[in-house]
Amino acid sequence: MSRRIRVLIVDDSTFVRQALTRMLGADPEIVVAGQAVDGREAIDKVHELDPDVVTMDVQMPRMGGLEALARIMAEHPVPVLLLSSLTREGAEVTLKGLELGALDFVDKSRVQGAMNLLELGEELRAKVKALGSIPASRLRAAPVALARLERPVASDQRAELVVIGTSTGGPAALQAIIPRLPEGLHSAVLVVQHMPPGFTRSLAERLASMSALPVREAEDGEPVAAGQVLIAPAGIHMKLRRRGAGLRVWLDEEPRSALHRPAVDVLMASAAKLSGERCLGVLLTGMGSDGVAGLRAIREAGGRTFAESEETCVIYGMPKAAAEAGVVDRSVPLHRMADEILAAV
Catalytic residue selected from 11, 38, 52, 194: 194
Residue 110 has pLDDT above 70, yes or no: no
Average pLDDT over residues 260-283: 96
Query: Which domains, and CATH codes, for the chain?
Result: 5-138 (3.40.50.2300), 161-344 (3.40.50.180)
Express each pLDDT in 15-74 by its tens digit. 889 989 999 999 999 999 999 999 999 999 999 999 999 999 887 777 778 899 999 999
pLDDT of residue 247: 94
Catalytic residue selected from 84, 167, 270, 309: 167
- Mark whether 290 is an active-site residue: yes
Tell the burial category of 140 from Cβ atoms under 10 Å away from its Cβ (0-12, 13-18, 19+): buried
Catalytic residue selected from 38, 52, 107, 290: 290
Express each pLDDT in 157-192 by its tens digit. 788 999 999 999 999 999 999 999 999 999 999 999
Q: Running DSSP on this structure, what letter comes out for residue 234? A: T
- Mark whether 194 is an active-site residue: yes
Express each pLDDT in 217-249 by its tens digit. 999 999 999 999 999 999 999 999 998 888 999
- Mark whether 260 is an active-site residue: no
Taking the C-alpha atoms of residue 230 and residue 190, their distance in angstroms, rounded to an integer, is 5
pLDDT of residue 142: 39
Residue 339: partners with Cβ closer than 8 Å, 6 or more residues away: 149, 152
Q: CA separation (Å) from 260 to 64, 168, 255, 290, 327? A: 31, 13, 10, 8, 20
Q: How many CA atoms lie within 13 A of 156 on its CB side?
A: 0
